[in-house]
């Protein structure tokens, strides 16, 4: 998938995402500009259905989703997706906890969130990532695989 026109409009709409380059007033002539994926209703219906089938409690119909996370309870989860052509998918997850679990200690919460930086250690988030990669690879919400091998790279949030 290297062009927005190659993507299924039922799942994704893509647009150039020059972001950093325009923030820095840099020339786009030689920039490696990713495609930002605007996730469509069929994408959300497919992902939410698969999560529920696998036993994950999900609230909402699009991001931010209320997702039951281990040791934390329900948290609001948002994900952005970008493609760096020809084949690099970058997913950025943001997790927001409105209320800490009862009797939770701050050091335990910090440790838990630090573990969440490794995507595969949090089953619901890893599932969303694998489903997104599978839907993108199949370019269809029929016959996709959700067993993509994801790599996690830790980042800092503002």
Residue 151 lies in a domain: no
Residue 156 lies in a domain: no
Residue 150 lies in a domain: no
Name the stretches of the chain with pLDDT < 70.
1-4, 18, 20-28, 30-31, 99-103, 153-158
Q: What is the pLDDT of residue 144?
A: 85
Residue 127 lies in a domain: yes
Contacts of 158 (CB under 8 A, 6+ apart): none
Helix (H) or strand (E) holding 36, with range, is strand 35-39
Q: What is the pLDDT of residue 149?
A: 75
Residue 84: give the domain boundaries. 4-22+31-138
Q: What is the pLDDT of residue 39?
A: 95
Place of tokens 């089953």: 123
Q: What is the pLDDT of residue 101?
A: 67
Q: What is the pLDDT of residue 47?
A: 95
Q: What is the pLDDT of residue 81?
A: 94
Instruction: Tell whether omega for the bond before 64 is within 30 degrees of 0, i.e. cis.
Output: yes
Residue 111 lies in a domain: yes
Q: What's CA 124's distance to the chain center, in Å?
A: 11
Residue 152 lies in a domain: no
Residue 71 lies in a domain: yes
Residue 110 lies in a domain: yes
Structure tokens at 50: 């698969």
Q: What is the pTM of this model?
A: 0.81
Cβ neighbourhood burial of 52 (10 Å; 0-12, 13-18, 19+)? exposed
Q: What is the pLDDT of residue 51?
A: 94
Q: What is the pLDDT of residue 74?
A: 87
Provide the domain count of the chain. 1
């Amino acid at each position: 998938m290297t062009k927005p026109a190659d993507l299924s409009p039922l799942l994704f709409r893509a647009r150039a995402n020059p972001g950093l380059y325009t923030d820095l007033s840099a020339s786009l002539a030689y920039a490696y500009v990713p495609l930002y994926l605007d996730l469509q209703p069929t994408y959300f219906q497919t992902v939410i259905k698969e999560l529920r089938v696998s036993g994950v409690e999900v609230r909402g119909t699009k991001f931010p989703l209320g997702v039951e996370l281990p040791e934390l309870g329900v948290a609001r989860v948002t994900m952005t997706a970008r493609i760096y052509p020809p084949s690099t998918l970058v997913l950025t997850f943001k997790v927001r906890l409105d209320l800490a679990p009862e009797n939770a200690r701050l050091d335990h919460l910090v440790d838990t969130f630090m573990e969440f930086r490794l995507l595969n250690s949090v089953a619901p988030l890893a599932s969303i990532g694998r489903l997104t990669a599978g839907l993108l690879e199949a370019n269809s919400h029929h016959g996709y695989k959700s067993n993509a091998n994801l790599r996690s790279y830790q980042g800092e949030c503002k």
